[in-house]
Amino acid sequence: MSEVFDDDLATQRAMMFDSAGSAAERQETQVAVFAYEAPVRIWHWVNFLCMLVLCVTGWLIGQPPPSIGGEASTNFLFGWIRFSHFAAGQVFAYAFVGRMIFAFVGNPTARELFVVPVWSRQWWHDLFSTFKWYFFLQKRPQRFIGHNPLAQAMMFTTFVLPAFVIIATGVALYVEPYGIDHPVYMLTDLVFMMTGGSLQTHAWHHLSMWLIICFSILHIYAAVREEIMSRQSMISTMVSGWRMFKD
């Protein structure tokens, strides 16, 4: 598998530099390379909206707002909060599963979120080079069609892994009130056995949420920073799919 990944990476870089031409030409033109297919881009923005709804409603579920006076039938605020949380959670889970499936059929950049090539010597070399760029120890960044190695490592450890945890614990907590009659109660039982109980499952769910929030802050910072400093498109790439390399 490492050979396939390295071949894909080499092909991508060859396409980029072949299109770029000479150094003089690169100073006058922009090089466009297609990076992200439509399913990846759509998932990215759907995922963003789901996370926004989940974090806000999850916080309100953990810290409920004061009760509103009057007839209960006309004041269903907390019910709508829970409904929004459950609905966004289901979209988030199904979209995540779909994104995993597309990783097997999409282009090489579609696999980067789930396949971190720690077995590749070149990947480690690029990782340390990216570290130097982010710590202002390198004047120019390396160019990558998809994510740089540091972004890959961060996304896998602070988004993909917490996403697995938050989905599993979320389903378990959702099913818990329905008892053993629910079709997937066996999953709830398994999760509770692994975490140590309902209270601990809540704790893992909240911890995963905070990890994803921290990831989101760093992700936005890195995207804006690279858009400005690295002379390549970032935010617009996730809209159009095309990576623009300037200079």
> HEC string of 182-246?
CCCHHHHHHHHHHHCCHHHHHHHHHHHHHHHHHHHHHHHHHHHHHHHHCCECCCCHHHHCEEEEC
Task: Provide the pLDDT for residue 127.
Answer: 92
Task: Provide the pLDDT for residue 26.
Answer: 46
Q: Is the pTM of this model over 0.85?
A: no
Task: Provide the pLDDT for residue 122.
Answer: 92
Task: Provide the pLDDT for residue 14.
Answer: 47
Domains with residue ranges and CATH for the chain: 34-245 (1.20.950.20)
Task: Provide the pLDDT for residue 178.
Answer: 84
**Residue 162, burial from CB neighbour count under 10 angstroms (0-12, 13-18, 19+):** buried
Phi-psi group of 34: left, alpha or beta (phi > 0 → left; psi -120 to 50 → alpha; rest → beta): beta
Task: Provide the pLDDT for residue 157.
Answer: 94
Task: Provide the pLDDT for residue 66.
Answer: 77
Ranges of the chain whose pLDDT falls below 50: 1-6, 10, 14, 16-17, 19-26
